[in-house]
Amino acid sequence: MGLSLEEDHEVILDQILETLVVESADVLVIAGDVFDRSSPPNSSIRQFNRFLKRVAEETEAAVVMISGNHDSGDRIEAMSVFSTASRVLVRGIADAVETPLMLRDEHGEIAFSALPFSYEYAAREVFGDEGISTPADVIAAQISAARDQVPEGARWVVVAHAFVAGGAVGETERALTRVGGIETVPSDVFDGADYVALGHLHKPQEVGASHIRYSGAPLAFGFDEAGSEKSMTVVDLKAEGAAIRTVAFRPIRQVRSLTGAFSDLLAGTPSEDFIQAILTDENPLVDPMKRLRATYPNACHLAYDRQGRAPETKMLSGGRAAVTPIDMVGDFIKVVHGREPNASEVAIVADKLHAAASGEEQA
């Protein structure tokens, strides 16, 4: 069911703007994804541009923004709507020279390095390094380039889009590797940064250390996030360390999962929330979703509880429901050599699979 979230986003954008004003924020950091697809609807682009224009006109906040893996890097690179270059750093494409945005407070200079998402094949070309084979290698190359540009004595804020090891994953995050491969990035790659603002994972959380943090998505995009609070992170960077707190968002519609007999759900309190209905009825019903939408017009998923209790089906590769090409090669190496594939073997296979996929796209 195609449900528009334009009104939901508008309410959250208003709340972000309100917080910027109330907090007298110096910087708004957007760590990607900006959009949920590389070619977003024109209405979404216009809505976001209006928001950026309001930030420029109604606040004193600078903006640091990067593309994520869902975004078109070229589109984000071209999205600056500010007239004062000293107040904005928008990055959509990785660069071998990572020039920071320099700001100053009562404690001295702060360098903001904006590291947009990049796939390994693109990073190899940018940095001239054929050894880049994993997302961790990409981030390490970007961090090295950024660190070279940070003035001595300046505090350093890194904005990046990555899956940092230890992060809690939801059901809607897309893999960051092009074809299989090692996806996670170790948190120690950010050593030396005073604060790291991360994008990609939808749940607000810290990873590895209190100053390495995902602010999370502004809205819930999966039913695994039902009941979870969405927020923006407010960071007060001190001379040493940072004070970190969150400001909760107030969405106009919640994501909820309801379980029960169809008749009970149908008789429930009408709601505009996004509803997942889990029916405990043993027998199939005629067109239950259409009937449920009389009470819950934004119901968008229906399942029967008995489906979750179906007998387990034995599958290849240890019961995985979906096996990637990398998984298959890994299983083969385990059978033939009695060990897990090493990083170089995974990289070789990933490169070959990407080359094959690219050839199919061009054909």
Across residues 38-55, what is the average pLDDT?
94
pLDDT for 166 beyond 60: yes
pLDDT for 247 beyond 50: yes
- What confidence category does residue 85 fall into, taking pLDDT thresholds of 50, 70 and 90? low
Domain with CATH 3.60.21.10 in the chain: 6-248
Segment 251-269, tens digit of pLDDT: 999 999 999 999 999 999 9
- What confidence category does residue 354 fall into, taking pLDDT thresholds of 50, 70 and 90? low
Across residues 2-9, what is the average pLDDT?
88
13 vs 77, residue with greater confidence: 13
- Read off the pTM: 0.82
Question: What was the pLDDT predicted at 319?
Answer: 39
| Chain center to CA of 104 | 29
- What confidence category does residue 339 fall into, taking pLDDT thresholds of 50, 70 and 90? confident
Rounded-to-integer distance, Cα 244 and Cα 157, Å:
14
pLDDT for 160 beyond 50: yes
Class of 6-248 in CATH: alpha beta
Rounded-to-integer distance, Cα 52 and Cα 202, Å:
22
Three-state secondary structure string covering the chain:
CCCCCHHHHHHHHHHHHHHHHHCCCCEEEECCCCCCCCCCCHHHHHHHHHHHHHHHHHCCCEEEEECCCCCCHHHHHCCCCCCCHHHEEEECCCCCCCCCEEEEECCEEEEEEEECCCCHHHHHHHHCCCCCCCHHHHHHHHHHHHHCCCCCCCEEEEEEECCECCCCCCCCCCCCCCCCCCCCECHHHHCCCCEEEEECCCCCEEECEEEEEECCCCCCCCHHHCCCCCEEEEEEECCCCEEEEEEECCCCCCEEEEEECHHHHHCCCCCCCEEEEEECCCCCCCCHHHHHCCCCCCEEEEEEHHHHCCCCCCCHHHHCCCCCHHHHHHHHHHHHHCCCCCHHHHHHHHHHHHHHHHHHHHC
Question: What was the pLDDT predicted at 82?
Answer: 52
Segment 188-242, tens digit of pLDDT: 999 999 999 999 999 999 999 999 999 999 999 889 999 899 999 999 999 999 9
Whether residue 30 contacts residue 71, with contact meaning beta carbons closer than 8 Å, is answered with no
pLDDT for 246 beyond 50: yes
Across residues 329-351, what is the average pLDDT?
71
Question: What was the pLDDT predicted at 155?
Answer: 98
Across residues 280-294, what is the average pLDDT?
94
CA distance from start to end of the chain: 33
- What confidence category does residue 174 fall into, taking pLDDT thresholds of 50, 70 and 90? low
Rounded-to-integer distance, Cα 185 and Cα 162, Å:
7
- What confidence category does residue 322 fall into, taking pLDDT thresholds of 50, 70 and 90? very low
- What confidence category does residue 134 fall into, taking pLDDT thresholds of 50, 70 and 90? very high
Using the CB atoms, write b or e for 94-116: b if 16+ within 10 Å. bbeebebbebeeeeebbbbbbbb
